């Protein structure tokens, strides 16, 4: 069964690795989904918002190996 898996977690949508990784996935034609992108962005603005929320970037299992190769090339 093909399901989404988390490839990486980033602390900010201003992280250059995050931006570059998304661009490289787009260029490779790998679709991805982002979890907690909005929540992570507003963290700290509202009292009581959790400070440990990260932006999860997920790809489908079938694309995991290629996505990891891309991620490893920019680290």
Domains of the chain: 4-73 (3.30.70)
- Can you give the three-state secondary structure of the chain, one letter per residue? CCCEEEEEEECCCCCHHHHHHHHHHHHHCCCEEEECHHHHHHECCECCCCCCCCEEEEEEHHHHHHHHHHHHHCC
pLDDT tens-digit map of 13-69: 888 999 999 999 999 999 999 998 876 555 554 445 555 578 999 999 999 999 999
Question: What pLDDT, on the 0 to 100 scale, is given for residue 42?
Answer: 54
pLDDT of 1 over the 70 cut:
no
| pTM summary value | 0.81
């Amino acid at each position: 069964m093909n399901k989404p898996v988390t490839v990486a977690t980033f602390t900010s949508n201003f992280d250059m690795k995050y931006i570059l990784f998304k661009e490289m996935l787009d260029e490779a034609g790998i679709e991805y989904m982002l979890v907690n992108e909005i929540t992570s962005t507003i963290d700290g603005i509202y009292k009581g918002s959790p400070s440990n929320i990260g932006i999860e970037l997920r790809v489908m299992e079938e694309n995991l190996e290629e996505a990891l190769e891309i991620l490893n090339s920019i680290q």
